[in-house]
Amino acid sequence: MNIDLKNKNALVGAATQGIGAGIATELAKCGANVTLMARNEEKLKKSVTELPVINQNQKHQYLVADFSDFESFKTIITDYFKDNNIDILVNNTNGPEPGMAVDKSVDDFQRAFDLLFKTVCETTALALPYMIEQKNGRIINVSSLSVKEPINNLVLSNSIRSAVAAWSKSLSNEVAQHNVTINNVLTGYFDTERIQKLIKVESEQSGKSPEEIRKARENKIPMKRLGKPEEYGHLVTFLASDYAAYITGTNIPLDGGLANIY
């Protein structure tokens, strides 16, 4: 099986590190023209130069956008789509702050909703007209295992990602006739900056060392290790390809078998 994404244009959110960077790299390896989207321009400038270029017509670019400021994000993403059409959209954002339900206010949930839901809806709405016109498109949402079972101390992510899953399933049914697919990847534990931050928070709250907490997480996983960002990229490139043309409206765990224990 040879995945060929030559002449396909992809937009990848939160793409300068972690899972987003892993996805962008693998899409580029398969020939896609990739736009990296994140809030730190210095990181974007560096990351875009590091993307693979496998053919002379392949071009990569970046877009500076802050997911946590929705009104600014809306303006920037609208301007982007005035001059760009994409075939592959990877909705991925930085995660909201950890915390328990009793500690979060309505305003906290509103900010998480803006970050995780409104940015995804806005970007998808702008990408869809071209996909529908071309009768081809791939939308992949980077989500979480919390869609299946809430994760302790991540109430904001638990709540809003479940809403995204319900919305994307509804939308996938509406656009399937146009050969546009929408799928959610339910993320397990991956070796990224995000999980290091969560481990640090848990360490401070529990008094356990970060090493103890990381090992405990690894021991929960049947494969006894954290995932690698490039492994995430492998699944996304498959979902973005013609080989996945009949897969839509799904929630796909990518977790080393962890979801099976829930």
Task: Report how far residue 83's alpha carbon sits from residue 210's, in angstroms, rounded to the nearest whole number.
Answer: 46
Q: Could you give the domains of the chain?
A: 9-189+229-257 (3.40.50.720)
| Confidence (pTM) | 0.93
Task: Report how far residue 91's alpha carbon sits from residue 182's, in angstroms, rounded to the nearest whole number.
Answer: 11
Positive or negative torsion for Cα 238, 227, 194, 252 = positive
| CA angle at 24 for the pair 86 and 134, rounded to the nearest 5° | 20
Q: Which two tokens stand for residue 168?
A: 């994307």
Q: Give residue 253's region: left, alpha or beta (phi > 0; psi -120 to 50).
A: beta
| pLDDT tens column, 60-100 | 999 999 999 999 999 999 999 999 999 999 999 988 988 99
Mean pLDDT for each 10-residue chunk of the chain (262 residues)?
95 96 98 98 98 96 97 98 98 92 96 97 98 98 94 93 97 98 96 86 89 92 95 98 98 90 47
Q: Give residue 31's region: left, alpha or beta (phi > 0; psi -120 to 50).
A: left
Q: Which two tokens stand for residue 19?
A: 């899972």
